[in-house]
Structures are given as C-alpha cells and as structure tokens.
Amino acid sequence: MTRPLHLPDAAKLLEVCEVTWPPAARQHLGAWTIRDGQGGGQRVSAATEDWPVTDADLPAAEAAMLALGQERLFQVREGEEKLDALLADRGYTMRDPVNIWAIDVARLTAEPIPRATAYTMWPPLELTREIWEDGGIGAARQAVMERADCEKTAILSRVGDYPGGAAYVGLHDGIAMIHAIHVLPSQRRQGAATLLLRAAAKWAQGHGAQVLSLLVTEGNHAANPLYAGIGMTRVGHYHYRVRPEGA
C-alpha cells in the first residue's frame, strides 16, 4: 500500500510562489522585505515582515512602497496576528483573503489525458498569450513569468475543436505551482479548467515534482469548489492589508 504524500505547509508554498512568480526586484529594509512588482499584481508588490515589527517600523516600509509608485500593501501570513492588528489599528483595510491549495501529482495523473487536448510549451504560443489577455493577464503579469528563473511551461488546452484555456506552471524544490489560469468564457463548464490542472500535474511529474499547488482568492466561488472536488487540500491562507488612497 502506497503511503500518502505529506504535503508541504503554507510557508513552503509561499517560498515556491516567490520563485515561480517573482517580483522584478526585492530589498530587505529593516524588518521588511519590499517588492517592486512593476504592475505584476499584488503577490509581487506586497511587503512582508522578516521578523516581528513594531509601530516604529511601519513608516520605512510605507515610504519605500510609495517611492516605487506602489500602493501601501502588506501581505499578512499565518502567525502574523500582531502585524495584522497593527495595520488594522493604522487604518489598513483587509483585501483578498487567499487560499493555498496542494495535491499529490499522482492523484491527477492516474488517467491519461486525451490526445490533442492539452499542450505544454515555452515560450508561450501567441494564442496562449491572447487567452491570457482575455483574462486580464496582460504584459506586466506575463513579464513575471518571463523573469522566473526556474523550470517552467505554458499550457494550452482545447475543448473540441476550439481553444479552451491557458495556464503557466513554475517548478521549485520538487513542487510545481500553477498560475495565470484562465478559461475562455465560451468554454467554461466543459472541463477545460480540470484539463489544465491535469496537464500541469503531468508536466510536473515529468520534471520530478511530487506536488502541484496554487493560490486562489477565497472569493472565487467557482474555483475553490473545483479544487476541493478534484481532491486538492487547503493547506493554508493569507490576506492583504492596504492603506486606502488619501489616508
């Protein structure tokens, strides 16, 4: 009998995210890590604490983010309740709670993928980029994928005779993380998203990975049930705190 795989914890998967979906630059400033996202989204732009901070540490992080032309945005991870309370007391509002999901790739690769339904490639095909653009994954977010210094692939899926969806996968330390999942509206509820996940798992397994992971906002009421339904485990969560404009 095969022993179940011990899935990595949230801290490890956030490390994988940092490698597979990296900021353009990062600096350590006192107790903080400051990220230059260059328009690539919250994950690559949010500041995080390197060790427990106090109220006196906050102005330096705020000034650094404003100097980059970014909003004052912090990622608050599990165990950082004091940081969360500090930010809340200073008028920071909560934004986008995020679930962290993971699964043993073997659970998604037991059945073969039907022929001519999923393709992996790097660099991405122009059609793949067009699907991402349809989902709001534009040049700045695609630049995040380009600068990722890891094994990586784009995935294009088909539903019947038509393109279905696209995704990007990066690999770090035996763990694959799938990002930028987008299914064309006309192809939804036809299995395109599941096919992308299965293709990601197959690619990951072929590159020596045992785990496939992803991050998704708690408010995505279509994606979270899908991930739970295919057997993924929610291994953690985090959220953001943002300073309202003008505050």
Largest CA distance in the chain: 60
For residue 232, give the nearest of 98, 110, 107, 77 by alpha carbon. 107
Residue with tokens 């692939």: 153
Average pLDDT over the chain, rounded to an integer: 95
What pLDDT digit, counting tens, does each position of 184-230 carry? 998 887 789 999 999 999 999 999 999 999 999 999 999 999 999 99
Amino acid at the residue 182: H
User: Can you tell me the mean pLDDT for 86-114?
Assistant: 97
The pLDDT tens digits of the residues spanning 145-179 come to: 999 999 999 999 998 888 999 999 999 999 999 99
Which of 229, 233, 167 shows the shortest CA–CA distance to 204?
167
**Band of pLDDT at residue 1, cut at 50, 70 and 90:** very low
Domain extents for the chain?
A: 10-99+238-242, 102-236
Shortest CA distance to 218 belongs to which of 45, 82, 75, 101?
A: 101
Q: What is the pLDDT of residue 237?
A: 98
Q: What are the pLDDT digits (tens) for 47-99?
A: 999 999 999 999 999 999 999 999 999 999 999 999 999 999 999 999 999 99
> Percent of the chain beyond pLDDT 90?
93
Q: Are 201 and 120 in contact (CB under 8 A)?
A: no
Q: Indicate the CATH number for domain 102-236.
A: 3.40.630.30
Which has more confidence, 22 or 246?
Answer: 22
pLDDT digits (tens, 9 = 90+) for 24-35: 999 999 999 999
Does 36 have pLDDT greater than 60? Answer: yes
Would you state the pLDDT for residue 246? 66
144, containing H or E segment: helix 139-147
